[in-house]
Amino acid sequence: MRILGIDPGYGVTGFGLIEARQGQYRLLTCGAITTPPHTDFSLRLEMIYRDMEELLRVSQPDQVAIEELFFGHNVTTGINVAQSRGVILLAIRQAGLPLAEYKPMQVKQAVAGYGSATKRQMQEMTKRLLGLSANPKPDDAADAIAIALCHARSSTSLLGQLHQGK
């Protein structure tokens, strides 16, 4: 199964495509969709949408996993990320792909076994699970890979199967 993980943003949207087979994981590609700062925001959203359409077409995932929005202290940034996430969700929906959404704590729990894992712990576990010699770059791509791994590990668990059956 090919799983595309997405870490949404409006300046940088990370992506990571993995292959999951019988509890084994392989990184196929990763990277980031970027938009230039000081560009009209509606144009940035259009760029994200078009790049996401192209990424979905080229990578041909079987399923997509995306991180749910987490609002920190900066509400304005959160609103802009939410708008970016909206155009990403639209592209996924129009591509007709199955979509799973995960909270940051769920990703940490599934990948590192601890819902409050640090960024460094997450990177180490991601590297270990994929048999990589170095951490994937940029950090947004590493986060997206962790989201894909979370989906791979969650969707094959008994609880994941029960949840999907509802």
Q: Which residue numbers are catalytic?
A: 7, 67, 140
- 3 state SS of 61: coil
- 3 state SS of 157: coil
Q: What is the dihedral of CA 66, 67, 69, 70, to 10 degrees?
A: 180
DSSP characters over 87-124: HHHHHHHHHT--EEEE-HHHHHHHHHS-TT--HHHHHH
3-state helix, strand, coil in the chain (%, to 5): 50, 20, 25
CA atoms within 13 A on the CB side of 51: 21
Name the DSSP letter for residue 50.
Answer: H
